[in-house]
Structure 1
Amino acid sequence: MTVLVSGATSQIGRFLIARLALTGVPVVAISRRPQPPQAGVQWRTGDLKTVLAADLNERWRAIVSFSPMDAWADWLEAQAVAPAPRIIATSSMSVVTKQGSAQSDEQQVVARLQYGEDELARQAARLGMAYTLFRPTLIYGAGVDRSLSPIVARARRLRLFPIPMANGMRQPVHADDIAQAVLAALESDAVDGKVLEIGGGERLDYMQMFRRVHASLGGGALPLYLPLSALRLLAALLPRARGPVSRLQQDLIADNRALVSLLGVHPRAFQPDASTWTPMTPEQARARLGGGAR
């Protein structure tokens, strides 16, 4: 029976549809833009509502969403019958770590995430669907993230790599490890109705994380160490930097104990190389898996 994947071209989606295809599970994948053919995957082009309206009579083995949760919650609210026995979706640890932000845009992010979590859970329960929500930390691995990969791209152009001298702990998690957690959740009722945090297999401070990213480039960009005083001055001059700078000394980490005990998933340590920052297509993700699961 088919698994529907929303947000299939996201960094997690690229690894998940590769793993589903490799295990022989048929996939219907939603993308806003046309995608090249991929074995085992039926692509549906359009936004979520358009695709679901066209496939309204379909019933799937499960729904996996890397799209905004509120969009799914709103769609489920209009349904009288469950479209699948199970839905698995990703939220973000930002719902916890940005709770105290003084920036209105970040408050809006938290509010949207919290609404999405609460309403998706409510609608799933109303329809009798099992649900599992994952809250990842900083995601990397497919070269399409909006956090570390843009910094790498800029450093390669400018030949200068900024390294903030901050001590807040970070726990970057590889997109493929989240994909593996989703696969495990598809086969387990132990995580029904649960919200699971998922971070990488290693915690390191902010400066150490940036040093590893810089080392992964293999030269070509000089390190530029930025003291906290300079970053705080930047935040005073640039309002949009205030939130990120205010969290440089804050620990943004996850508790993986439930993930490990319930699903047996052990995320990898943070060991990037130059290829980590190169954008990867779903087919390349499948090739990188070497024809089978890691």
Structure 2
Amino acid sequence: MTVLVFGGSSQIGHFLLPRLLAGGASVLALSRHARTSEPGLRWLQGELPDAVPGELPVPAAIISFGPLGPFAQWLARADFGSEPPRVIATSSMSAETKRDSSVPAERAISRQLRDGEQALATACARHGAPWTVLRPTLIYGAGLDKSLSPIARRALRTRLFPLPAGRGMRQPVHAEDIALAVLAALACPASAGRILSIGGGERLSAGAMFARVRQSLPRGILPLPLPAWLLHAGRRVAPKKLQGPLQRLDADLVTDNDELERLLGIRPRPFRVEAEMWFPAKG
């Protein structure tokens, strides 16, 4: 089976590609940067929606971890003959959690995600291709995320870890659990035509989540508590890119995994973290 993966060098791709190869798949993976191919894995260099080489084998499945809009544009123009591929893509729970944000840029992100999901469904309908979209919560685990890993690495440099007093609940999901959900969806016809939320196996407050990240680091990282009154005051003077995250510290950003577990049999792990998770794996 040939599988085409967009975003193969992403944090989810880091865990997915070895499992596809171990299962005997022939993998074509697209990255914006040149990478070295290996037996069973051919790396392509390019960026959607245009830079995809022609004359590729028709894939049995296509998996995308990148922006939905460009992927849907490429998919709408692709020619798969009489054998439409199985399509799996990731979106984000921000499609819902930022829908009513007071920050216009965040509402735009939410709308862009939902528009991308709809464009993907429309492109797949054109081909008669079954599709599934996964909406993860906050992703961690490969050191490639832009949320918790940069905070942890900054703390190691400065020896200081800010601990905001956030009461809102969080549900971080490990990138490997999303990769497992992708594999399960490929083998589950009943998941076609569905948008499935996927959160981690544990809910904890935002404050407790940050505290657990600090506890995973080597000793010598001093905690810097940020009380609620200070955070509320800071919202008025914070840069625009921080206003949304500060406002959501007391909001619950969680999801229900019941449908995921019922259809795919995936039960994501609890939030148990170690220092090496905050750094990209070598090689």
TM-score band by shorter chain is over 0.9
**Distance apart, 1:56 and its partner CA:** 5.0
Higher relative contact order (CA 8 A, sep 6+): 1
Mapped to 2, the partners of 1:127 and 1:36 lie a distance apart of 32
Partner of 2:110: 110
**Distance apart, 1:50 and its partner CA:** 4.4
1:167 maps onto 2:162 in alignment:
no
SS of residue matched to 1:259 = helix
| Residue identity in the other structure for 1:236 | R
Partner of 1:272: 273
CA RMSD of aligned residues (A): 1.5
Mapped to 1, the partners of 2:176 and 2:84 lie a distance apart of 24
SS of residue matched to 2:5 = strand
Partner of 1:251: 252
| Residue identity in the other structure for 2:64 | S
Task: Report if the CA contact (8 A) 2:201-2:270 is conserved.
Answer: yes
Mapped to 1, the partners of 2:144 and 2:61 lie a distance apart of 26
**Distance apart, 1:111 and its partner CA:** 1.5
Call closer, same or farther: CA 1:56–1:39 in 2, change over 3 Å: closer
**Distance apart, 1:51 and its partner CA:** 4.2
**Distance apart, 1:57 and its partner CA:** 5.3
Mapped to 2, the partners of 1:81 and 1:107 lie a distance apart of 35
**Distance apart, 1:94 and its partner CA:** 0.2
Mapped to 1, the partners of 2:215 and 2:192 lie a distance apart of 40
Partner of 1:216: 216
Task: Report if the CA contact (8 A) 1:173-1:268 is conserved.
Answer: yes
Task: Report if the CA contact (8 A) 1:30-1:48 is conserved.
Answer: no
Task: Report if the CA contact (8 A) 1:138-1:173 is conserved.
Answer: yes
Residue-by-residue CA offset, 1:122-160 (whole Å, 9 max, x unaligned): 110121000000000000000010000000111111100
1:88 maps onto 2:88 in alignment:
yes
Partner of 1:67: 66
SS of residue matched to 2:190 = coil
| Residue identity in the other structure for 2:67 | P
1:180 maps onto 2:184 in alignment:
no
Residue-by-residue CA offset, 1:219-245 (whole Å, 9 max, x unaligned): 121011111211122221123221111
Mapped to 2, the partners of 1:184 and 1:81 lie a distance apart of 23
Mapped to 2, the partners of 1:251 and 1:169 lie a distance apart of 4
1:32 maps onto 2:32 in alignment:
yes
Mapped to 2, the partners of 1:22 and 1:57 lie a distance apart of 22
Task: Report if the CA contact (8 A) 2:84-2:128 is conserved.
Answer: no
Task: Report if the CA contact (8 A) 2:50-2:74 is conserved.
Answer: no
Mapped to 1, the partners of 2:129 and 2:264 lie a distance apart of 19
Call closer, same or farther: CA 1:79–1:40 in 2, change over 3 Å: closer
Residue-by-residue CA offset, 1:40-68 (whole Å, 9 max, x unaligned): 2100011134443x235531010000011
| Residue identity in the other structure for 2:265 | G
1:263 maps onto 2:264 in alignment:
yes
Partner of 1:131: 131
Mapped to 2, the partners of 1:185 and 1:114 lie a distance apart of 20
Question: Any unmatched runs of 5+ in structure 1?
Answer: 284-294
> What fraction of aligned residue pairs are identical, expressed as a percent?
48
Task: Report if the CA contact (8 A) 1:85-1:130 is conserved.
Answer: yes
Q: Which moved more, 1:18-27 or 1:34-43?
A: 34-43
Task: Report if the CA contact (8 A) 1:44-1:51 is conserved.
Answer: no
Task: Report if the CA contact (8 A) 2:164-2:227 is conserved.
Answer: yes
SS of residue matched to 2:42 = strand
SS of residue matched to 1:59 = coil
| TM-score, structure 2 as length reference | 0.95
SS of residue matched to 2:162 = strand
SS of residue matched to 1:252 = coil
| Residue identity in the other structure for 2:161 | F
Residue-by-residue CA offset, 1:104-132 (whole Å, 9 max, x unaligned): 21122111101100110111012100000
